[in-house]
Chain A
């Protein structure tokens, strides 16, 4: 019998006597017998922690794609960055981990101030003045951006570049079934959005990605102009590491920035929990989704922080809500603030630069291999797409046998043909290099890929 319950049999009896009862069953006597469970739950009996650890060891050993077995060159929105011991330990402090939403600010200044610092950093990286306290992930962040654009324009049409991550687009399409938004996808040509091929009239939003999911650095001025010409909001989904050196969303003229905050101190974690980054212009503040922390003073005139503009939040607005966020990802936001504090101004630039250096070094080597060609001739930043002569997923499995996780197959993201790749998406591989990859590992990647494609 394993659990974390403090009650002794004597205490249970004492508590029941206090209630004038003689069995726990009496507490449930008012539940209609027709719906009561008449047998035990169909679950095994409880196990001790060491026994459960043994069960989990089977799961972990069946996961071949872990660091101890494979060097990671996979990205596509989720990146293997350095997370130092100091960040893990600080973010793992149980005061942060086991707190609830900071509804009582008098005893929640720790989380509230950490969020305030996070908001400041996101505002600086996005170049936009109004950040929020985080969203679930980038994909649901995009949905919130679309809802904001609908609120601002009262229009339904959302024009989205096919360079936006396929999963983000799919999530937007799912939620559009409820809101009635019309999703129009602008295809890529040579890795760059062909905005001219779609009708953006009457659009609420124009959405671009920077860099896009194939790694290409698009000049998103065209997207901004399209938005301006149609009185739509411009939403830019940007890589937050690249934002350390590239033009910010604000500098590109975005009304809304969304991004995936996983690179700021959160492990690959099989995809979650991650961190939806969000910021917008002053004009949109009353439509901001989720929570926002503001600075104020306490009754003794000391600086304090508190969640504010609560009247916007969905659980308060009830049926007038324009957002689906209640619980968010505070722990990941706190982690991001700590990780960025560790990196500092210079460290963030260094990480961004090393990612670009590593990716270009690997790129220049593997395009020399027969049967490996670029998908796009355009500039890229930290990852790039190549076309192989056979199925990319199969090549990945072959490479895995040599201890290399060679990237992410584009078709695994799109689940089939997609407007981002004009033909043969099943052969397209997205390859990523972070600051953690050494020249030796990159050289080995080239060797393993060469072998896998049979050169």
Chain B
């Protein structure tokens, strides 16, 4: 029996009561039951058809579930017990930076002095918010080495598209119609998608045998029609693009701009700044690097910082400090316009600022260093079980491959990922980046302890042993989770998106 490392990051002890599925709230509904309570207002209760012409009124009643407060609490509490989360256990999902989300930052954002403020109130009445936004902008610029930033984009992909629109505005202002954006073949799928919606065409740049951008092929693809390049550094293999200075020079030489995909910013905080590497536009995923909770798939926040020559094009209006020390909304002179309905995901922005303030410059630098330490420790610890696709020092994440398990025992990366769920760990990212066969991308993050990393390594070793002993059982994993492998093909073939779907 292998030793079992005791750690705070392994969720195998989570109590789940019973094996039945949870009914939907509609199935629990009892007509006439209710939970709501409203304020006593004393406002005259005129009939709706006196206030609104009857042509506008719905003759039918829209059915919402009818439950008691106790029913409601039971239902959503049970649903929460069917959900993995960072608070429950380690979530080594590569590229997603699922670090611990400090509770303090949530508490700060929940303060009514921030969250009861209407976004349409005059700036004179919301000076605290404007100061907070200006402060965050300055600090994000300090971290990235850029001149100014917009805080409006609601997520990473929105930040990418905003960045591409900034590129387009910059080139257009120079009377320069350019067509193409270069993207490495290891890029996040959101990159090419954003390029298309930004009105550009994608040229893919192959990686070399070291997993880095092939500089010669990059140079061969450059020309006066290239608007820019989108790079993630470290890239999605967790490797630092060591020729970044040469890449930047080559792209700048043809008048192109460099876009930094900040998905992996956690690796370089206080170590390297995108601005110093020559990047012109940088988006940050505050829900990754700055620890704001992912909320099961959002909200995020994707601020975009730019170099001085792009400042005038930023979305607006922007919170700005005036000479008299007060704050106002100001639209940059050549602004591309709004990219969000209001001022961005303000509560997420407040959480991120609290996180930055707690850490300070010194703490953020430790974040990057320990994240890189953890990833390298895990890579090296697993070298005989799941070797790295590129076996050398990585940054904050490592891409391992299950090729040998597949070739010898028919156990795929997906099987390993699913079996890990039974071990009390969330799965790594599977089959990404696309250029690595049977890829398993682990990002431990800096907030997991050595004991948790050891527990994860031992769990993977047990799974590798199971691959030898009983590979078929691994194809059926997981079994101890709330549900076992789900029939995804059936879900797609026979779409049931609602309780009311026609042939449910």
Contacts and interface: CB of A to CB of B under 8 A. Distances in A.
Partners in one complex: yes
Given A24-B373, A41-B270, A306-B491, A65 B121 contact: yes
Contact of A63 (B73, B125, B272): B125
B397 interface: no
A137 B359 contact: no
Contacts of B128: 58-63
B52 A381 contact: yes
Interface stretch (A199-207, A331-339, A368-376, A447-455): A331-339
Interface in A172-194: 173-175, 177-180
Interface residues of B, number: 203
A425 to B, nearest CB: 15
Contact of B485 (A62, A63, A298, A309): A298
Interface in B58-117: 58, 61-67, 69, 72-73, 75-77, 79-88, 91, 93, 96, 98, 100-102, 104, 106, 108, 111-117
B379 to A, nearest CB: 9
Contacts of A84: 36-37
Contacts of B305: none
A438 B41 contact: yes
Contact of A131 (B125, B158, B354, B497): B497
B363 to A, nearest CB: 4
B360 A44 contact: yes
Contacts of B365: 40-41
B465 interface: no
B228 interface: no
Given A43-B361, A245-B48, A170 B337 contact: yes
Given A260-B341, A435-B41, A439-B43, A140 B492 contact: no
Contacts of A6: 8, 447-450
Contacts of A55: 357
Contact of B64 (A343, A379, A408): A343
A227 interface: no
Nearest to B365: A41
20 contacts: A3-B359, A3-B363, A4-B291, A7-B446, A31-B242, A32-B242, A56-B108, A64-B127, A65-B121, A67-B116, A72-B118, A90-B72, A124-B62, A137-B341, A178-B198, A298-B486, A330-B297, A332-B298, A405-B125, A412-B122
Interface in B373-398: 373-374, 376-377, 380-381, 392-393
A321 B196 contact: yes
A304 B341 contact: no
Contacts of A130: 497
A90 B77 contact: yes
Interface in B342-356: 342-348, 350, 354, 356
B498 A98 contact: no
Nearest to A360: B51
Interface in A293-351: 293-300, 302-306, 308-311, 314-332, 334, 337-338, 340-351
Contacts of A149: none
A198 interface: no
B60 to A, nearest CB: 8
A99 B158 contact: no
A423 interface: no
A306 B498 CA distance: 12
Interface in B31-64: 33-46, 48, 51-53, 55-58, 61-64
A243 interface: yes
A5 B296 contact: no
B342 A438 contact: no
Interface in A402-431: 405, 408-409, 412-413, 415
Contact of A341 (B75, B98, B192): B75
B467 interface: no
Given A2-B360, A104-B417, A396-B121, 6 more contacts: A7-B446, A63-B117, A139-B341, A326-B157, A329-B295, A338-B76
Nearest to B477: A106
Most central of A45, A49, A98, A320 by chain B CB within 10 Å? A98
Nearest to A42: B142
A15 interface: yes
A94 B373 CA distance: 28
B194 interface: yes
A381 B57 CA distance: 11
A86 interface: yes
Given A43-B143, A330-B296, A360-B46, A315 B190 contact: yes
B184 interface: no
A109 interface: yes
Contact of A123 (B25, B165, B362, B500): B500
Interface string B320-343: 000000000001000011111111
Contacts of A27: 369, 372-373, 376, 393
Nearest to B348: A273
A78 B342 contact: yes
B61 A272 contact: no
Q: Which 6 A-B pairs have the closest CB atoms?
A: A60-B113, A271-B342, A331-B295, A110-B83, A271-B119, A46-B360
A415 B317 contact: yes
Nearest to A335: B295
A124 B482 contact: no
A320 B201 CA distance: 10
Interface in B150-196: 154-158, 161, 164-165, 168-169, 188-196
B63 to A, nearest CB: 6
Contact of B56 (A90, A117, A306, A379): A379
